[in-house]
Amino acid sequence: MANALRKMANYLGLMDDPDFGSETPESVQSHRALESKSKPREFRPSTLAVAPAPTPPAVQLDLPVLDRIVTLHPRFYNEARTIGEQYREGNPVIINLTDMDESERKRLVDFASGLVFGHHGTIERVTSKVFLLSPANIRVSNEDKTAAAEASFFNQS
């Protein structure tokens, strides 16, 4: 083991021992005795230059311009494809599920949840049967919802 380490140190230039490869066991012992009496070696800095890391290329995402919100009123589960296509194009989608059966409504909400999760977006319940699917580049503020709920516009007392 020590022999392998010595060879590696000699190869890397950490040791000044040009005749190291032709040593006999007796010469190794005498060499160790000389090493223990000699001065410690000085540190020699490496002459290798480290190149700076390349800068990564600028990532440019082609995000769609928000120019519309799609509202859909599906009646059957097989209309889920339309929801997925509109959402994949980067459009926020409002789904009104009031015209659907309860079992198909649950399936469609599960589909929409998976769709949103897969594209890093968000899903929000607007009412008990209306949902908003927002892509990752769209933020929906909750502050306006609380301000509207606290407003006294409809309070007639």
β pairing state of 130-134 and 122-127? antiparallel
Q: Distance (Å, rounded) from C-alpha 64 to C-alpha 96?
A: 24
Inside any domain, residue 138: yes
Inside any domain, residue 51: no
Q: Distance (Å, rounded) from C-alpha 23 to C-alpha 123?
A: 75
Do 13 and 82 have their domain in common?
Answer: no
β-bridge partners, 37: none
Q: What is the mean pLDDT of the chain?
A: 75
80-88 and 102-118 helices, crossing angle to 10°? 20
pTM of the model: 0.50
The domain in which residue 24 lies consists of: 2-37
- pLDDT tens-digit profile of 44-71? 554 545 556 666 666 555 655 667 888 9
- pLDDT tens-digit profile of 103-141? 999 999 999 999 999 999 999 998 989 999 999 887 777
CATH number at residue 94: 3.30.110.150
Instruction: Count how many domains the chain has.
Output: 2
Cβ neighbours of residue 89 under 8 Å, at least 6 residues apart?
64
